[in-house]
Amino acid sequence: MSEQKVLPWYQSPIEKQLFKELTKRSDLKALAQLVPHLLLTIALGTISYRAFHTLPLYLSIPIYYVFTNVYNFLGLSSGIHEMSHGTVFKTKALNLFFMNVVSFLTWSDYVFYRTSHYFTHRTFISYLRRAFGIIRGEWEEMIFPEDSVDKRKELIRWNRILVIGHLLIASLIVLSGNYLLLLFITYPIASSSILSYLVTKTQHTGLQADIADSRKCCRSVKLNPLYEFLY
């Protein structure tokens, strides 16, 4: 096996019991957070879809913009981020199930993200490349070395699910003749993620890089109630 380097991250002093209480997981609380978000996304998608049929473009496009921003908060910037740590649902099966569902909806490679915690490689070409089993570049070779056969298989399998699954959905939509549905099922993640991007990047912008101390490379941000709910 390849040697894995472990960074000596600074650990803030905290009582073990308090830390345990603060990180306690709950299926009920997780569902109370995720299900309303999914329902809100579906509701906004339905409203936006109807708006394209009944309202002029200068009104329907802003509604679609709101929908896509809410949709994007389901992705790597928040929902999948926490589920990849296994810190959302107490039941591992529920955590894995919803992580797969949300990852598929948002074109998210949770296998790559969970391993690298790095999500700038989110392009269709990279998904397609990894779906064909092509692991390329210093970063990918480091986190998915050749001797990590199971990890590579999991990565390739999920990318194939993403690519084939969305191509099948897109094909069915095209065959149905209702091309507008493409904007709501396979395209939302690519249309607008500015709000989730800003919330995420604000936590790191202007801080130190290449340092194993989260106090110096991360900051807490205070959000309004709506953004708190989405994030």
Per-residue model confidence (pLDDT) at position 108: 80
Q: Is the pLDDT of residue 59 over 50?
A: yes
**pLDDT for the residue numbered 116:** 61
Q: Count of CB atoms within 10 A of residue 101's CB?
A: 13
> What mean pLDDT value characterizes the chain?
82
Percent of the chain, pLDDT > 70?
A: 83
Q: Residue 78 carries which side chain, given as an amino acid letter?
A: S
**Section 53-75 average pLDDT:** 92
pLDDT for the residue numbered 2: 46
Confidence of residue 37 (pLDDT cuts 50, 70, 90): very high
Measured between alpha carbons, how far is 75 from 124 in angstroms, rounded to an integer?
15
Single pTM value for the model:
0.76
| Helix H or strand E encompassing 211 | none
pLDDT at position 212, please?
78
pLDDT of 56: 96
Q: How confident is the model at residue 111 (pLDDT cuts 50, 70, 90)?
A: confident
* Rounded Cα–Cα distance for residues 46 and 49 (Å): 5
Higher pLDDT, 112 or 178: 178
Alpha-carbon gap, residue 112 to 169, rounded angstroms? 23
Please tell me which of 12-16, 23-27, 54-58 the model is most confident about, judged by mean pLDDT. Answer: 54-58
Alpha-carbon distance of 169 to 186, in angstroms, equals 8
According to the model, what pLDDT value does residue 52 have?
A: 95
Q: 121-159 pLDDT, tens per residue?
A: 455 566 666 666 666 666 676 667 777 778 788 888 888
> Per-residue b/e over 199-228, b at no fewer than 16 CB within 10 Å?
bbeeeeeeeeeeeeeeeeeeeeeeeeeebe
Q: What is the mean pLDDT of residues 192-218?
A: 80
Closest CA to 203 of 81, 74, 72: 81
